[in-house]
């Protein structure tokens, strides 16, 4: 199991940038795909971005492609989400997650078994 704690959320104006961080504990962090998901009020949780265990593969939701960048630092047990050109529709609680399996790449929500508590991102128009 991996324990995850997100930080970096806040209230910003449209067009601004934020960088979310996720600190992980546990010895298997570097073997797991990491993902960012978000959930807006009244909506289901949705995939935002994922990065493979070695950082070699990434994927993004179409809605954030070109604006968001996921990265990881296995030496620090951390994963990041750089969010640029934020829009009001990006407003949501953002969650960090770790894959259930090791040494695989996935972006399917059901393949992630460890979740953080979430951090609120609010983009004001």
| Contact (CB, 8 A) for 82 and 71 | yes
68-73 sheet: strands from edge to edge: 3-7, 18-25, 78-83, 68-73
* pLDDT (tens digit per residue) in 14-64: 999 999 999 999 889 999 999 999 999 999 999 999 999 999 999 999 999
pLDDT value at residue 1: 78
Give the pLDDT band (50/70/90) at residue 84: very high
* Mean of pLDDT values over 91-108: 96
> Predicted confidence band at 76 (pLDDT cuts at 50, 70, 90)?
very high
**Residue 117 burial by Cβ neighbours in a 10 Å radius (0-12, 13-18, 19+):** exposed
Q: What is the mean pLDDT of the chain?
A: 96
Percent of the chain with pLDDT over 70: 100
Q: What is the pLDDT of residues 88-97, one digit of tens each?
A: 999 999 999 9
Closest CA relative to residue 95, chosen from 114, 82, 111: 114
Question: Burial, 21: exposed, middle or buried (Cβ in 10 Å; 0-12, 13-18, 19+)?
Answer: middle
Is the C-alpha dihedral spanning 60, 67, 92, 31 positive or negative? positive
Work out the average pLDDT over 114-122. 97
Question: What confidence tier does 113 reach under pLDDT thresholds 50, 70, 90?
Answer: very high
CA dihedral 48, 51, 52, 57 (to 10 degrees): 100
């Amino acid at each position: 199991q991996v324990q995850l704690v997100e930080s970096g959320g806040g209230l910003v104006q449209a067009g601004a940038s934020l960088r979310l961080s996720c600190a992980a504990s546990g010895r298997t962090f570097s073997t797991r795909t990491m993902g960012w998901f978000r959930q807006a009020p009244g909506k289901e949780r949705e995939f935002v971005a994922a990065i493979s265990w070695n950082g070699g593969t990434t994927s993004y939701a179409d809605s954030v492609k070109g604006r968001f960048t996921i990265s990881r630092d296995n030496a620090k047990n951390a994963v990041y989400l750089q969010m640029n050109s934020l829009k009001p529709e990006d407003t949501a609680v953002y969650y960090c997650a770790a894959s259930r399996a090791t040494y695989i790449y996935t972006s399917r929500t059901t393949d992630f078994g460890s979740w953080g508590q979430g951090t609120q991102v609010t983009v004001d128009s």
